Structure 1
Amino acid sequence: MNKIHPLILACATTLFASYSSASFFDSHDGQFDLGHHIAENAYGFLPVPILITEPAVGVGGGVAGLFLHEDEQAKEKRKQAALAAVDGGAQLVPAAMTLVGAAGTENGSWFAFAGHRHSWLKDSIRYTGGLGVGEAKLDIYQPIQFDGVGPLPAIDTLRFGTTTQVAGLMQKLQFRVKDTPLMLGAKQVLAVSSVDLNFYGKLGQAIDKLSQHFDLEQLGNTSVTSGLGLVVDYDTRDNLFYPTQGYQLSAEYMAYDEAIGSDYNYQNLSLNGQVYFPLGDAWNLAFAGNYQHFSSDDRLITPTAKPYVALRGVSSYRYQGDEILTVQTQLSYDIDNRWKVSAFYGHGVAQQRNSEDALNQVDAYGVGFRYHIARRYGLRLGVDIAFSDQESALYFNIGSGL
């Protein structure tokens, strides 16, 4: 087992040492709560432990800090909302938030990141940006037939390991259409990376087959991925962190092209939707869906370029394809204003063009709970236990998990 990256241990020690002797309780119900502390500090700060149990990279952990920046007028408005309602100021979203953190896992993967979200003119203009650096060790599954290749039998799915070292930038600028929930904008992605492959078993001449799908000549060399795109977002949810009513519809089209500095040329369309239905005072039903369409005129692409089925209980990149479709539903119950339990189910489909094994499907399900860690902001922190056809995983989440 590899050791956790020393940067993570240093951050964790520094972060929690300053909070070890502190006591935080909500005057509304006397329960543990960080909302008052966040609001009353010059830079409202919420320590967030990162506990990773993602099957694709193994067990790991780290730490992040969520900074909520508010002026005195916004703090007072949220304070009054918190005093007047059990859900606090959940409908109020801070104009500026910053997230900084680092984490690592047992298979040697690690990452460090910083992100910022800022809005102006009552959220008429919104900017979201982030920087990250790290190394990811992921297994990729590729449907390939090896009929007639020496002594190798026909193989439906080839599994091989990838080690990707990457430094990347993402930024998005959006503008609200009049006073509606509709926002239009543009997005930029820029990453510099190198990829190495680790083959499992005796593949021999099968590497020649693999080279028909991936750019093996670029392995170990530095490559640039550069993309520009358009984003559309329509959001009526009552809370950014854990909604209980309303819906969100979003669309994103990204083009990666050598004309803007990319070493690879491809396009990706992503459509997302979420909807939340209150069922009485304690129950809530939610649905979510995602569709992605990948296209490229290039014969060779990087192994992690194609989209994948993203569901709790399913390893990242386990089911990749040219078309991805996922649907999810979640039923939650409020035990009281602090504790919430839930059950969820999801189904994912990965469609691979130009392959005899063209269609992969997976089901995932599980249960979880959330604790209202910052009532004034509607922040909930908790755990999900998820299972799929071949895997199981434990997740520590902020938000609904959908």
Structure 2
Amino acid sequence: MTKNISLCLLLMASSQAVAESSYFFDEKDGQFDLGYHLAENAYGFLPVPVLITEPAVGAGGGVVGLFLHETDEEKELRRQKALESIDGGAQLMPAAMTLVGAGGTANGTWFALAGHRHSWLKDSIRYTAVGGAANGNLDIYTRLGGLLPPEHPLQFDTSTEALFAMQKVQFRVTDTPLLLGIKQLWAESSISSSNPLVDWILQNTLGDKTTTSGLGFIAEYDTRDNIFFPKKGYTVSAEYMVYDEAIGSDNNYQTLGASGEVYIPLTKHWTFAFAGSYDQLYAGDSHLSPTTKPYVDLRGVSAYRYQGDQVATVQSQLMYHIDHRWTVSAFYGYGVTTSDAIEESDDSVNAYGVGFRYQLARRYGIHMGVDLATSGEENAIYFKLGAGF
């Protein structure tokens, strides 16, 4: 969700660094790089300007701080690895990372959040926590049970205010890439609409506030060579969540989600990547917030534009590494929705585009760049941290 829109903004983030001519240039290849800043800065963080271009919420911006907590010994080991090899250091997993950020868009959407991930015993135990507040102004679409064509659905606006918190703990199975764990999610939200009829329906079905409380099981299998910008390996994850009055939720339902990514090095300069996802909602209650249903999440497609009780996506991406700093790519995605209710209709969408990445912190393998995407109905630009899926 983050950006390489202006290297100058990143340069201005540390007044101390301006005085040192080599502070922002890699000691091995001489290119612009924030690895030294990230490792040696007194605050140990990467300030990232955020430019939001999600079609569902409009243009906006903000700032995010990425903190990588490492001991002096870990920093020195990473520095030595980076000197030994042009790709060295990127494969070392930071034991602790913290993310703090805030932003907003032109349509009144805003967010503020903080998250932390920590691991112990050589990543045998991993804990992740995220919390924050947000206001999301989103359009919801419906075809009225197939009465309207896909290109002209009925559209109405919603405004959702929410406080949220999530935590999960995972345990590695012996020395394998498999992690098993438990996830807990809590949120308190309220939803409204500027349309009087829609707002009346929302208030009479959902009430003033809704508490969502869920507990579930998660599994993850990860062999990627770099969590920020993998070039080989794969990851598969699945989770099953239960939302029930017994654990404080106002609504009863369950969700199942599964996703995977595969990165295949074809040659020194070419990498092929493939990703897929599946999400399903098992609705125990008939009156749920319209944002509860899963949606097609693809570059070039507005969030919540295509929703259903079951949603599946597939994506492919071909990357050409010009050198160890610059990568260009082309990608394609397809999403489909199905619904259990007879009056609801199935939908599908294609999306494709091109993009580029620049390796901004070689010690950590952190890449940032831009994707241009279209789904035929709309065009979008994304400023991305990492591979893009």
Q: What's the secondary structure of 1:198's corresponding residue? A: coil
Q: Aligned partner of 2:159: which letter? A: T
Where does structure 1 differ by over 6 angstroms across 4 or more consecutive aligned residues? none
The superposition leaves residues 222-245 of structure 1 with CA deviations (integer Å, 9 ceiling, x where unpaired) of 211110110000000000101000
Measure, in 1, the Cα distance between the counterparts of 2:168 and 2:350.
33
**Is the 2:17–2:24 contact (alpha carbons within 8 Å) kept by the matching residues of 1?**
no
Q: What's the secondary structure of 2:263's corresponding residue? A: strand
Measure, in 2, the Cα distance between the counterparts of 1:64 and 1:378.
18
Alignment of structure 1 residues 322-341 onto 2, 5 Å: 322-341=309-328
Measure, in 2, the Cα distance between the counterparts of 1:95 and 1:146.
50
Q: What's the secondary structure of 1:82's corresponding residue? A: helix
TM-superposed deviation, 1:389: 2.5
Measure, in 2, the Cα distance between the counterparts of 1:162 and 1:361.
23
TM-superposed deviation, 1:141: 1.0
Tell me the residue number matched to 1:301: 288
Q: Aligned partner of 1:80: which letter? A: Q
Q: What's the secondary structure of 2:13's corresponding residue? A: helix
Residues 116 and 307 of structure 1, relative CA distance in 2, 3 Å threshold: same
Tell me the residue number matched to 1:188: 184
**Is the 1:197–1:219 contact (alpha carbons within 8 Å) kept by the matching residues of 2?**
no
Residues 17 and 119 of structure 1, relative CA distance in 2, 3 Å threshold: closer
Q: Aligned partner of 2:157: which letter? A: G
The superposition leaves residues 34-71 of structure 1 with CA deviations (integer Å, 9 ceiling, x where unpaired) of 11121123442111111100000000000000000001
Tell me the residue number matched to 1:40: 40
Q: What's the secondary structure of 2:18's corresponding residue? A: coil
**Is the 1:65–1:101 contact (alpha carbons within 8 Å) kept by the matching residues of 2?**
yes
TM-superposed deviation, 1:20: 8.2
Residues 146 and 330 of structure 1, relative CA distance in 2, 3 Å threshold: closer
Residues 146 and 331 of structure 1, relative CA distance in 2, 3 Å threshold: closer
Matched, 1:90 2:90: yes
What RMSD in Å do the two structures reach over aligned CA positions?
2.3
Unaligned runs of 5+ in 1: 1-11
Measure, in 1, the Cα distance between the counterparts of 2:277 and 2:242.
19
Q: What's the secondary structure of 1:16's corresponding residue? A: coil
The superposition leaves residues 56-92 of structure 1 with CA deviations (integer Å, 9 ceiling, x where unpaired) of 0000000000000001221121111100111131111
Tell me the residue number matched to 1:16: 13
Alignment of structure 1 residues 51-66 onto 2, 5 Å: 51-66=51-66
Measure, in 2, the Cα distance between the counterparts of 1:302 and 1:125.
35
**What is the count of residue pairs matched by the alignment?**
376
Measure, in 2, the Cα distance between the counterparts of 1:145 and 1:79.
59
Question: Identical aligned pairs, as a percentage?
Answer: 59
Tell me the residue number matched to 1:162: 158
Q: Aligned partner of 2:299: which letter? A: R
Tell me the residue number matched to 2:174: 178
Tell me the residue number matched to 1:4: none
**Is the 1:43–1:69 contact (alpha carbons within 8 Å) kept by the matching residues of 2?**
no
Residues 250 and 66 of structure 1, relative CA distance in 2, 3 Å threshold: same
TM-superposed deviation, 1:143: 3.2
TM-score by length of 2: 0.92
TM-superposed deviation, 1:198: 2.7
Tell me the residue number matched to 1:367: 354
Q: What's the secondary structure of 2:221's corresponding residue? A: strand
Which of 226, 229, 235 is equivalent to 2:216? Answer: 229
Unaligned runs of 5+ in 2: 1-8
TM-superposed deviation, 1:317: 0.5
Q: 75-84 vs 232-241, which deviates more?
A: 75-84
Measure, in 2, the Cα distance between the counterparts of 1:16 and 1:224.
39
**Is the 2:145–2:345 contact (alpha carbons within 8 Å) kept by the matching residues of 1?**
no
Matched, 1:379 2:366: yes
Measure, in 2, the Cα distance between the counterparts of 1:263 and 1:129.
23
Measure, in 2, the Cα distance between the counterparts of 1:225 and 1:385.
35
